[in-house]
Structure formats: C-alpha cells, structure tokens
Amino acid sequence: MTEPDQPRPLTLVEAVIPVASLILLVGLSYYLFGEAGASGPNQVALVVATMVAVQQFFNPANDTITSSGTDQQRHVMLNLPNTVKLLADASTGLAVSSTKADVVNTDVVSNTTGISTTGTGVDVNAFPMTGPTQVRIAWGNAIGNTTAYVMNDPGTGGGGNKITILQFLTSNTTAAFSTNMAGNGTLVSGTGPSCGGTNCQNLGFYSSNTNPH
C-alpha cells in the first residue's frame, strides 16, 4: 500500500499571506464603513482571508489539495488586489443575473446603483406572470441611491418592456408600495434594446393576488 505524500511545512511567506490578508481586509472594512464594519463587512473579511489561506494549496484544475504552494502562492498574491478592489467597490448594492431573488425587509442605501438586474423578466400583461429574472422586493428602504433600480435588457412583452424588479403592494392600489423609496436621484432606469423610449422607467408590482413566479 502506497502512503500518501505528506504536505511540506509552510514557508514564512506562505504563512504570512493569510494573516496579512485578514489585517488588510479588516482595516479596509473599518476605513470604508467605520464602526458599522463590525456588523457585516468584518465577517466578509474573515471568509475571504480563509479563502486566501486555502487557495494557496488548492488547484482548481483537478480539484485536489496539493503541497506545491509556489505557483498557488503567486496566484493568490496576484489576485488579492482584485479581491480587495471588489470588496471596496460599493457602486452596486445587489446585482442579479438570470435568476430570482426575494429582498425582504432590506435597506438599500447610498449606492450608485441600488439593485441591478440582467436577463429576461416578467410580462406583466400576461398570465401567469413568469420569467427567469426577478427581484421581488417587500418592505425595507431604498434611500439616497444615485439610481435605485436598473433593469438591463429585460426583454419586450405585451405593451412594452418586461419587468425584472417588482414591489410588493400593501393594498389594491398601484401606489401602495411597501418599500420606502426616497432621496434617489433616479428611481428606475434601464439599458439595452428593450429599454428604448419610455420603457424601463417603472417598477412592476405584486400582491397575494398577483404572484409572479
């Protein structure tokens, strides 16, 4: 029976990289968010630092843990700035592409784009209301965003564009959105061929009687 190769000990540089990553990311979270960094961004920093530690010996080509750390160490060092840049870029609060998301009791505040969708949405003039790309929002706040909601090429349906962002109504009137929306430079906009003219400038809505799926 062949014994498996024993992993070699870490070099000093390899051991320092995850620690340095954690210090950098925690420092960045406090720099960007102040004391609020402890309520969320710090947890992200811990997860990313753990990923950095594992990635030094993880080879995605064959899904095995290897003891050849030199190239993987270089890979981590080259990609760490991109990871930090991604964490530091708060231009979009939530981006959804060709999938469905329910955003409930959530505050979307002070982003360049609050929520962005990409993909075909719901034809609100057809029944049943179905579509592969949907963000269904109930309660919470959308405040102080440059643009609160952006629909990227949601497709065309009966009477205009399809809808990918829908607000829950608290009553049977179309103005009774459950989410508080205030102080946004633009509430809704869109991009792509299906958003020309006056298209993509309104949210969809749903209730217990009109349930998109």
**Interval 166-197: pLDDT, tens:** 999 988 776 789 999 999 999 999 999 999 88
Mean pLDDT for the stretch of residues 58-87: 40
Match 């792509």 to its residue by tokens.
192
Distance (Å, whole) CA 213 – CA 209: 12
What's the distance, Cα to Cα, between the start and end of the chain in Å?
55
Distance (Å, whole) CA 187 – CA 205: 14
Distance (Å, whole) CA 213 – CA 210: 10
**Interval 43-53: pLDDT, tens:** 777 777 777 76
Given strand 180-182, what is the order of strands in its sheet? 107-109, 141-143, 180-182
State the pairing for strand pair 58-59/64-65.
antiparallel
Residue 111 phi/psi, 5-degree rounding, is -105, 160
pLDDT at residue 73 tops 60: no
Mean pLDDT for the stretch of residues 136-142: 91
Domain coordinates of the chain in residue numbers?
12-88, 92-206
Q: What is the pLDDT of residue 57?
A: 52
Both tokens assigned to 104: 């409930």
Q: What is the pLDDT of residue 89?
A: 44
Residue in 212, 186, 40, 24 with CA at minimum distance from that of residue 128: 212
Q: What is the pLDDT of residue 65?
A: 30
Q: Where is average pLDDT lowest: 29-43, 99-113, 179-193?
A: 29-43
pTM (two decimals) = 0.58
Distance (Å, whole) CA 114 – CA 160: 23
Higher pLDDT, 142 or 43: 142
Q: Please report which confidence band the pLDDT of residue 106 belongs to, taking 50, 70 and 90 as the band edges.
A: confident
